[in-house]
Amino acid sequence: MMTRTALAPQFWNRDELYEDVWNQPLTALMPKYGVSATAIGKTCRKLQVPLPGRGYWAKKAHGHSVVRKALPKAAGVPPITRYQRPAVANTIPNPPTQPEFPVEPEDKTEIDRINQMLSAGAFVLKRPRIALRHPMVVAARNTLRHSMASKQILQVPWNQSCLDIRVSKSTLSRALGIMAAIISIFEDHGVKVRVMPGDKSYGQRSNETAAMIFGERIQFGITERMKQERVPDPKATPDAAGRQRLMSRYEATGELSIHVFSSSNYFTRVWRDTEHAKIDSLVPECIASMMKIAVEYRRSTAKRHQEESFRRLDWEELKQLKTQIEAEETLVQRLENGADSWHRARRIREYVLALVECRRKQGKELGPDTALGRWTIWALQQADRIDPLTESPSSILDRKRELVGWSPYG
């Protein structure tokens, strides 16, 4: 059984917090402090800790000079208790974490570069208003605002193209803002996002939103969790036992998720709203993870192409071997056929000589003008035609090929 142990209260360290917020973005500090970036910003304002202004991290990432505001002296700043996760004794072991990506040297360089960009705030949205005016976002807003809802989820007409957003009407504006941020950040780094028709069979998504990263297609979308409950159906009559029939009622929870539809075994693929953080603040991590998944896909694609190349080489080698074997078998068959023909010709000659000797003993005339003489000449000619070691004399059988296609019925 799990039991929670008491912890001594801890307070925010003003100096440490000041150093942290000026060394890395607030989103990168969430794992350390266990709260959202919004909560860290509120704490800074309470402790009179200055924060970097808009565009600070982008300028720093591109090598521009930036000004760091000094920490003012604390004047009547009350101590603020820092949130602590309660320690749990005798807990169930944590589930196994995702295995480490077995990167090649060039992939490790790319992964490190993505992590550095994330820490430097390179994946922070710079122009939110302009992002909301993106043509794909505007088209999705116009389409979904006038769409029918099924189980509280807005449905895209089958003949229209739209961003992969499956949410209720109440969260549509927020979902569009998150999608606009993802598209804008991607395009700032030269990544194109496209909407393409999906496989509509077997209940698949009718539209797919995908980013082409490092030549790999990474599909993603935004969904909302729905709460389902069974309630009495007011339109249905009671059953034979008098029990009220039930129906499913769906209620929008407002909890959004970003899903990356991939088979990655090493990087995060789903980001959900939690009690301490919304996915709005997790967009930079989502962008970085999708880029890492693209690196993984690129490595898998290269490996697959290499395996296909090896299989193709093996196939070509086996094809060449088969050709050589068939040529050798043809020569062997020709040899065997020649030997068989030679034996047949020799048997025919032996038979003809034996028959002539028999007829001679019977007193038959053997002149060339006799029937036996003419038959003997003809039989020896047939033996010569079969014998591969003798020049073949002409015969009426040579014209047999002329009858190909001929029919007695015309």
Question: Per-residue confidence of the chain (410 residues) as pLDDT tens digits?
Answer: 444 445 556 778 888 888 888 888 888 888 888 888 888 888 888 888 888 887 787 777 777 788 888 888 877 777 777 766 655 555 555 555 666 777 788 888 888 999 999 999 899 988 888 999 999 999 999 999 888 888 888 888 877 889 999 999 999 999 999 999 999 999 999 999 998 876 655 445 567 899 999 989 999 999 999 988 888 888 888 877 778 888 888 888 889 999 998 778 788 889 998 888 889 989 999 999 999 999 988 888 888 888 888 888 889 999 999 999 999 999 999 999 999 999 999 999 999 999 999 988 888 888 888 888 899 999 999 999 999 998 888 888 888 888 888 888 86
Angle at CA of residue 321, ends 318 and 327, nearest 5°: 145
What gap in Å lies between CA 373 and CA 379, rounded to an integer? 10
Yes or no: say if 124 and 28 are a contact pair by the CB < 8 Å rule.
Answer: no
- What radius of gyration, in Å, describes the C-alpha atoms of the chain? 43
Total of domains in the chain:
1
DSSP state of 121: T
What gap in Å lies between CA 381 and CA 121, rounded to an integer? 99
What gap in Å lies between CA 112 and CA 240, rounded to an integer? 67
Does 33 reside within a domain?
Answer: yes
Strands 3-5 and 87-89: antiparallel
Question: What number of other Cβ atoms are within 10 A of residue 77's Cβ?
Answer: 14
Yes or no: say if 81 and 51 are a contact pair by the CB < 8 Å rule.
Answer: no
Does 134 reside within a domain?
Answer: no
Measuring CA to CA, which residue among 185, 173, 180, 194 is closest to residue 121?
Answer: 185
Does 83 reside within a domain?
Answer: yes
Does 17 reside within a domain?
Answer: yes
As to burial, measured by CB atoms within 10 angstroms (0-12 exposed, 13-18 middle, 19+ buried), residue 76 is exposed
Tell me the three state secondary structure of residue 44. Answer: helix
Structural domain boundaries, residue 48: 1-92
Yes or no: say if 278 and 36 are a contact pair by the CB < 8 Å rule.
Answer: yes
DSSP state of 271: E
Amino acid at 356: V
What are the C-alpha distances in Å from 200 to residues 33, 197, 205, 206, 262? Answer: 44, 8, 6, 5, 18
What gap in Å lies between CA 48 and CA 213, rounded to an integer? 41
Does 399 reside within a domain?
Answer: no
Does 24 reside within a domain?
Answer: yes
What are the C-alpha distances in Å from 398 to residues 313, 338, 343, 378, 404? Answer: 46, 19, 22, 15, 13
Instruction: State both tokens at 9.
Output: 């209260």
Does 73 reside within a domain?
Answer: yes
What gap in Å lies between CA 39 and CA 80, rounded to an integer? 12
What gap in Å lies between CA 119 and CA 285, rounded to an integer? 10
**Count of alpha carbons within 13 Å of 49, Cβ hemisphere only?**
21
Long-range contacts of 313-319 (CB under 8 A, 24+ apart): none
Question: What number of other Cβ atoms are within 10 A of residue 341's Cβ?
Answer: 15
Q: What is the DSSP string of 328-348?
A: HHHHHHHHHHHHHHHHHHHHH
| pLDDT of 1 | 44
Measuring CA to CA, which residue among 46, 45, 49 is closest to residue 70?
Answer: 49
The length of the chain is: 410
Does 247 reside within a domain?
Answer: no
- Positive or negative, the CA dihedral 101, 102, 103, 108 is positive
Strands 216-232 and 165-166: parallel
| Cβ contacts of 376 within 8 Å, gap of 6 or more | 352, 355, 356, 366
Backbone angles phi, psi at 57, to 5 degrees: -70, -35
Amino acid at 75: A
